Amino acid sequence: MGDIERSDVGAGFGGRSKLLIGVFLIVAAVIYLIVTSTQSAAQYYLTVEELLTKGESALDRDIKVSGAVEGDTIEYDAKSLELRFTIVNVPADLDEIERAGGLAQVLHRAVTDPSEPRVDVLYVGPMPDLLRHEAQAILTGRMGMDGVFVADELLLKCPTRYEEEIPLQVEEG
């Protein structure tokens, strides 16, 4: 069969198999890149509560954590650009948030409930415009030995009273 095809297509046969190899190589490269990049760049996305219960095991890897900003705790040293504040545990589950009356409600309830777990955060950089009381902070960084979460990246969302389905967001980092 190969003989017939070869004489039919002539040089094209070699070209075709080379082509298939090319296609295969690209597809393999894409899969390889996706798999390895996922492994090296994956970050656990935790709530404050989960972060605290993870304890030691959370120390050595990049983690994403989200919580409600407690306004009174915001301290900013404009000289060193050290920004410190505390975030309060909010549930991660969409349905749970929905049942509780939306994101704005959940954030509000979290900061007014002293029994919710809290964690202190340190971020070095310009003070983000959207940082304020009851904003939702999504931080990327590592848990320090002293129990302070050191964030390299800080994403903030401020759900407004009317358009709760469109939290405004801006990335800083």
Residue 145 touching other proteins (CB under 8 A): no
User: Bridge-partner residues for 56, per DSSP?
Assistant: none
Residue 91 CB: number of other CB atoms within 10 A?
Answer: 14
Nearest residue to 169 (alpha-carbon basis) of 153, 150, 152 = 153
Only one of the segments 91-99, 112-120, 143-151 lies at the binding site for other proteins (rule: CB under 8 A); that segment is 91-99
Among 140, 142, 148, 150, binds other proteins (CB under 8 A): 140
| Interaction residues for other proteins, span 4-63 (CB under 8 A) | 9, 11-12, 15-16, 18-19, 22-23, 26-27, 29-30, 33-34, 36-38, 40-46
Q: Would you give the distance in Å from CA 52 to the centre of its chain?
A: 17
Contacts (Cβ under 8 Å, ≥6 apart) of 144: 122, 150
- Smallest gap from Cβ 121 to other proteins, in A, equals 16
Q: How many residues does the chain have?
A: 173
Nearer to other proteins by C-beta: 60 or 146? Answer: 60
Question: For residue 98, which phi and psi values (nearest 5 degrees)?
Answer: -60, -45
Q: What is the CA radius of gyration of the chain?
A: 25
Q: How far is 22 from 45, CA to CA, in rounded Å?
A: 38
Q: Does 147 bind other proteins (CB under 8 A)?
A: no
Binding site for other proteins (CB under 8 A): 9, 11-12, 15-16, 18-19, 22-23, 26-27, 29-30, 33-34, 36-38, 40-46, 64, 66, 76, 78-79, 81, 90-92, 94, 97-98, 102-103, 106, 125-127, 129-130, 132, 136, 138, 140, 153, 157-173
